[in-house]
């Protein structure tokens, strides 16, 4: 599948029905378009099966609760809808996007309690998120934007509005020839990339930022479990910027990113070492098992 995302062949599940891809539209006065009242999930299917599908559906429901609305479908109903979309698409390997939002209704101000909650699910082919970086190592910029305090945003929701500074950070990075940007948090600690969690290696041990003000990714949790099963020490902690110089390897994790090595972050260089490659290969084996 290629071309603009609004002009493709195929079907999209929308509010309980399969509709033609080009007809899956919303009104211009949809609340989510004006006030970011939307949550979503990005998922990957391998060999016809969505990896950790139920966890994604559960998180979608929880994200909606965090931003004060309820998705009118159970986890089981969401699972059935995703299965229907995947089968209809004819794809065995696919990216699956589930999104729920406050639609158009009687309210068109900040408040939107009277508006219906809507939901859609689409699937399409999507290759490596960072292109050939999976072999060479991604090049990251350092963003000027910081992940906000939990007192200012619902930081554990996968909500559309929280990605605004991520979009700006990634655009600035791409303008410099980078694949992505690493962000610090509001305290100045290392946080994450714009859509992926980050890991570092030093002396055979792994260090990763504590997810106390950003999303604790499902892929992140999977990789930590893999490392612990191998008796590799994992430190989940606050990481100071000054520590970047001493780390030997680095990788990103995320549903889209999968496990992607990092070669540089600003002026700091990392080797695409054996542990990074092993984790990437082991994750690939796991999701296809």
What are the extents of the domains in the chain?
11-124, 133-287
C-beta of residue 286 within 8 angstroms of C-beta of residue 222 = yes
Q: How far apart are CA 131 and CA 163, in angstroms?
A: 21
Query: What is the average pLDDT across 31-49?
Result: 97
Of residues 80, 83, 98, the one with CA closest to residue 48: 83
* Average predicted confidence (pLDDT) for the chain: 96
Query: What is the average pLDDT across 14-20?
Result: 98
Q: How far apart are CA 137 and CA 289, in angstroms?
A: 25
Residue 130 has pLDDT above 90, yes or no: no
Q: What are phi and psi of 262, to 5 degrees?
A: -115, 130
Of residues 90, 108, 131, 134, the one with CA closest to residue 33: 108
Number of continuous H segments (helices) and E segments (strands) in the chain: 7, 15
Contacts of 222 (CB under 8 A, 6+ apart): 52, 253, 283, 286
Token output for 133: 């970086």
Q: How far apart are CA 95 and CA 280, in angstroms?
A: 18
C-beta of residue 155 within 8 angstroms of C-beta of residue 193 = no
Query: Coil, strand, or helix at residue 285?
Result: helix
Confidence (pLDDT) at 173: 98
CATH T-level topology, domain 11-124? D-amino Acid Aminotransferase; Chain A, domain 1 (3.30.470)
Query: What is the average pLDDT across 179-199?
Result: 98
DSSP string, 71-101: -SS-HHHHHHHHHHHHHHHT-SSEEEEEEEE
Q: How far apart are CA 178 and CA 139, in angstroms?
A: 5
CATH T-level topology, domain 133-287? D-amino Acid Aminotransferase; Chain A, domain 2 (3.20.10)
C-beta of residue 192 within 8 angstroms of C-beta of residue 253 = no
Q: Could you tell me what percent of the chain has a pLDDT over 70?
A: 99
Question: Beta partners for 205?
Answer: 202
Confidence (pLDDT) at 134: 74
pTM, full prediction: 0.95
Confidence (pLDDT) at 1: 53
Of residues 138, 124, 130, 119, the one with CA closest to residue 44: 124
Confidence (pLDDT) at 129: 81
Q: What is the pLDDT of residues 66-78, one digit of tens each?
A: 999 999 999 999 9
Of residues 178, 191, 87, the one with CA closest to residue 145: 191
Residue 135 has pLDDT above 90, yes or no: no
Beta strands, E only, the chain: 11-14, 17-20, 38-46, 49-50, 94-102, 117-124, 138-147, 180-185, 190-193, 197-202, 205-209, 234-237, 249-254, 258-265, 268-269
Confidence (pLDDT) at 276: 97
Q: Could you tell me what percent of the chain has a pLDDT over 90?
A: 95
Query: What is the average pLDDT across 236-257?
Result: 97
Token output for 44: 């990957």
Residue 2 has pLDDT above 80, yes or no: no
Length of the chain: 289
């Amino acid at each position: 599948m290629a071309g603009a995302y609004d002009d493709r062949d195929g079907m999209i599940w929308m509010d309980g029905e399969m509709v033609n891809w080009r007809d899956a539209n919303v009104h211009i006065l949809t609340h989510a378009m004006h006030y970011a009242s939307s949550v979503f999930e990005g998922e990957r299917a391998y060999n016809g099966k969505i990896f950790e599908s139920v966890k994604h559906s559960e998180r979608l429901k929880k994200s909606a609760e965090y931003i004060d609305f309820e998705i009118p479908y159970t986890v089981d109903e969401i699972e059935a809808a995703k299965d229907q979309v995947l089968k209809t698409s004819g794809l065995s390997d696919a990216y699956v996007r589930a999104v729920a939002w406050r639609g158009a209704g009687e309210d068109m101000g900040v408040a939107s309690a009277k508006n219906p909650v809507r939901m859609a699910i689409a699937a399409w082919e999507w290759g490596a998120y960072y292109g050939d970086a999976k072999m060479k190592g991604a090049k990251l910029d350092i963003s000027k934007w910081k992940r906000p305090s939990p007192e200012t945003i619902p930081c554990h929701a996968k909500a559309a509005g929280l990605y605004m500074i991520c979009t700006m950070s990634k655009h600035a990075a791409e303008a410099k020839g980078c694949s992505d940007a690493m962000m610090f948090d509001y305290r100045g600690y290392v946080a994450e990339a714009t859509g992926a969690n980050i890991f570092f290696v030093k002396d055979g041990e792994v260090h990763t930022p504590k997810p106390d003000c950003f999303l604790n990714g499902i892929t992140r949790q999977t990789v930590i479990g893999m490392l612990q099963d191998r008796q590799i020490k994992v430190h989940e902690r606050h990481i100071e910027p000054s520590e970047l110089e001493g780390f030997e390897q680095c990788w990103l994790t995320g549903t889209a990113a999968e496990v992607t090595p990092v070669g540089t972050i600003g002026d700091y260089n990392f080797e695409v070492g054996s542990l990074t490659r092993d984790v990437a290969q082991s994750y690939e084996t796991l999701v296809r098992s």
